Structure 1
C-alpha cells in the first residue's frame, strides 16, 4: 500500500532549482497534492540540466526528475491578470503555499506573505530564501547552495589539511537541508492549523539552516575558543584506513570501551591502556600518526570484508567506504526498496534498464512512498483551470 498520510492536503508552490522542489517533493511523496507553478514556455531552470534522456524535443532531465515526481505542472505568468486570477483561485482551496523566489519579488506583484496571510488566514505560507525575510545586512543578497556551503562554515572544514583549499560537497547539501527543514516547519504548522484553524508563516533561511547544521563545530568553538580546521578533528577519533585489497574503511572510536574492542580485533592489546591513547581526546590527537598506522598494519594482509567482519564481531562499528555504484547495488538498500523506478516512459536506458531513484527514505507502518510521474511542463494547465479541480481537491 502506498503512503497517503497527507491525502487531502493541497500545496501550491512557485518553485525552482532545489530547495522548494525538494521540500514539496517530500510532501507529494507523503500523499499531498502539489501544484507546481512554472514560468510559461521554459519552466523550472533545472528542466534543461544535463544529463538527459529521450529525444531532443522531449527529454527528461537528470537535474529535474528527482525533486519533482508526483506533482502537477501549471504554467502561470503572475503579471498577467487572467493568470493572476487562476493563481488566486488555486490559493483559495490551498492548505499550503511555498516559494523560493527572492524575498520581495512576489510582494511586487501583490502576492507578498503579509497579503497572503490576510487574504487566506487558513493557509500555511512557507518562504525559503538565502538569508530570511526579516531583513538584516545580507537580506538582499542572492544565494545558491555553494554560496551557503561557504558562508555557513562547511567549506572551511572540507579538505585534507588546513593548508588545502576549502572544499565543496558535490551535491546540493544546503538546498536539501533547507527543503527538509521547511517541510518540518510546514508539517508543524499544519498541526497548528488542525488544532486552531489558523495558518502560519514559515520563514526558512538557508544560511540559518546551514549554520545550525554545523552544530558540533560551533559547539566546540563555543566551549573551547578553538577554531576547527580542515582535515582534522581534535575531539573525535575518526578516520579512514586502507585494507589489503586497496579498499577503505571508515571508523570512529569515541569511547574507551570501543577502543578496547578495536584493540582486541586488531590483536594489539598493548595499545588498550597506552598512556597516549587512553582517552578519546588523546586518540583523536594521535589518529594519523599512531592509530591509523596500527589499523593499516593489521589490515595489510586482509580484505575489506575480513577487516569489517573482525571489527563487527568485536562489537566495533565500521563501514566500507563505498562508491556510488556500490551504494546503488547495495543489497540492504534493495531489501529496503529505497530505489523506485521513475514513472516516465523516457526514464529508460538504451539497454532497457529503468532509471530508479531514492523514494522518501522513511517507512510508516511498513509502508513506503510511491513517487508519482514526472510532469511535463504545463501538463495540468487545462485540468487545473477547470472550476471543479479548483473548488474541491481530493
Structure 2
C-alpha cells in the first residue's frame, strides 16, 4: 500500500554541506543533496565565483545557463581563502558541516589546512569527498577535464563511427562522477549513524567513466580486443539501432526473438522471423547489413510517427529521435512531471529524477547570485 505524500522533512533535512567545488561534477552532486533536503553552502571566490558563471552563451536573464543547471537550492558565500579571516570562517564552516565536497587538485585543500586529516580532528563525523580527474597518486598533477577523460578513458572510441571517435553530447563523465560522489556520500552518512565516524572519499573522473563502460568494458577484458565505434548500432543485439523511415529516423530496440517476430509482423514482413539468417539474435547480429536492408525497405513505406505508433502497439520498443524540447514534452505527456519552478525570473528546470511516495518536495530556491548569502553566512559562522 502506497503511503500518501506529506510535507514532512526531506531525507537529508538537517544535513549541512560545505561545497568547495566548482564547474560540474561537484556542483551536480551537491545540488542533488540540496534536492534531497540538505543545506548547501557554496564557497566561491570573491569577484569571480564558480568558473561556469562566465560559461556562455547561452545566458539567462540572471546569468549563465550552465551555472544555473547545477546550482539551485544553494547559498553562495564569497570567501577569499588566501585571507586569514576568511580562511578562519571556512574552517568554522567545515567544523560544523556534515559533508565537505571539493574538486581542487590533490594537495590544495591540505595546504589551506582544510584537508581531511586536519578537519576530522575537530569534526570526526565529517564525510569528506574529494573529486579529481586521475586520482591523488601517480595522476595527481594531471588536469581532469571531461572532454579529455572521454578521450583517454575509452568512451570516445566506442562512440560515433569506427573511423571517427565522438564525444557524448553532454559532459557525461562529469555527470557520472557527480552521481557516484552523491552515492558515496549517502553511503558514508548511513555508515556514520552506526559508527559515529565519517570517512574520506575520493571519486575520480577516470574511474567513474571506466565503471560506466559495463558490457563494453567487460567485452574488452574477456576477449582481449577493444570494441570500436558502431554509430547507433549495438554490438551484441540486432536490430537495436536507428532505422530510416519515409521521413526520418526511429530507434528500434529488439531485445529478444519474440520482439523481433512482432516487429516483422508489424512492418508486413512476418517471413523475416522465419528466415534462417534471422531466427536468433546471434544470427541477426551476424547478418546485420542484410537484415537492416530488409527492414528499411519496409519502413520507408510510411512516416516515423506511423511506425512508432504501430510498433509500440505491437509491444516493440521504438521511438522517434527527439530534440530536447520534444523529449521534455514527451515526459510531460507521460505525466512524469519532469520540470520544477525555481522562482520568478528563472526558467523552469529539470527536476531531480526521483519521485517520492512519502515526501512532497518544496519549490527549491533559485541558483544564487555570487556572494548573495555572504553577509548572512558570515554572521552565522561568527555567532
TM-score norm. by structure 2 comes to 0.92
User: Structure 1 residue 372 and structure 2 residue 378: aligned?
Assistant: no
Runs (4+) of structure 1 exceeding 3 A deviation are 331-334, 366-370
1:382 aligned partner: 375
In structure 1, C-alpha distance between the alignment counterparts of 2:344 and 2:313, rounded to whole Å? 44
Corresponding residue SS for 1:46:
helix
2:3 corresponds to which residue?
none
CA contact (8 A) 1:92 1:120 kept: yes
Q: Deviations over 1:242-269 (max 9, x none)?
A: 222x121111223112221211212222
Distance 1:227 1:247 in 2: 32
Report the Cα distance in structure 1 between the residues aligned to 2:312 and 2:382, rounded to whole angstroms.
56
In the other structure, the counterpart of 1:241 is 243
Output the CA distance in 2 between the equivalents of 1:331 and 1:188: 30
Segments of 5+ residues of structure 2 without an aligned counterpart are 1-5
| Partner residue of 1:38 out of 35, 44, 61 | 44
Quote the offset at 1:318 in angstroms. 1.1
SS at match of 2:160: coil
Q: Does 2:112 correspond to 1:109?
A: yes
Aligned to 1:215: 214
Alignment of 1:154-165 (within 5 A): 154-160=155-161, 162-163=162-163, 165=164
Counterpart of 1:182 in structure 2 is 181
- Distance in 2, matches of 1:363 and 1:356, equals 17
Encode CA deviations 1:29-78: one digit per residue, 9 max, x unaligned.
11100000001111001111211133xxxx41111001001100011122
- CA shift for structure 1 position 189: 0.4
Matches of 1:334 and 1:203, distance apart in 2: 38
Q: What's the secondary structure of 1:168's corresponding residue? A: coil
Rounded Cα–Cα distance in structure 2 between residues aligned with 1:334 and 1:239: 23
Instruction: Say whether the 8 Å CA contact 1:155–1:167 is kept in structure 2.
Output: yes
Matched, 1:86 2:89: yes
Alignment partner, residue 53 of structure 1: 60
User: Which residue number in structure 2 is paired with residue 197 of structure 1?
Assistant: 196
Residue aligning to 1:352: none
Structure 2 CA distance, aligned partners of 1:333 and 1:60?
30
Q: TM-score, normalised by structure 1?
A: 0.89
Match of 2:98 in 1: 95
Q: 1:58-114 CA deviation, whole Å, 9 max, x = no partner?
A: x41111001001100011122211111111211221100000111111111222222
Within 1, Cα distance between the matches of 2:24 and 2:72?
13
Check conservation: 2:257, 2:279, Cα contact below 8 A. yes
CA separation of 1:13 and 1:282: change in aligned 2, threshold 3 A: same
Cα offset for 1:204? 0.5
- CA 1:334 to 1:358, structure 2 compared with 1: closer, same or farther past 3 Å? farther
Number of matched pairs: 372
Q: Indicate if the aligned counterparts of 1:100 and 1:128 stay in contact, CA closer than 8 A.
A: yes
The structure-2 alpha-carbon separation of the partners of 1:281 and 1:371, relative to structure 1 and needing over 3 Å to count, comes to: farther
> Residue 125 of structure 1 aligns to a residue in which SS?
strand
Q: Which runs of 5+ in 1 are unaligned?
A: 348-354
Answer whether contact 1:74 1:380 (CA < 8 A) is retained.
yes
Q: Distance in 1 between matches of 2:266 and 2:12?
A: 48
Aligned to 1:72: 75
For 2:145 and 2:267, how far apart are their aligned partners in 1?
45
Distance in 1 (alpha carbons) for counterparts of 2:268 and 2:77: 64
Root-mean-square deviation (CA, aligned residues, Å) is: 1.9
Inter-partner Cα distance in structure 2 for 1:21 and 1:222: 33
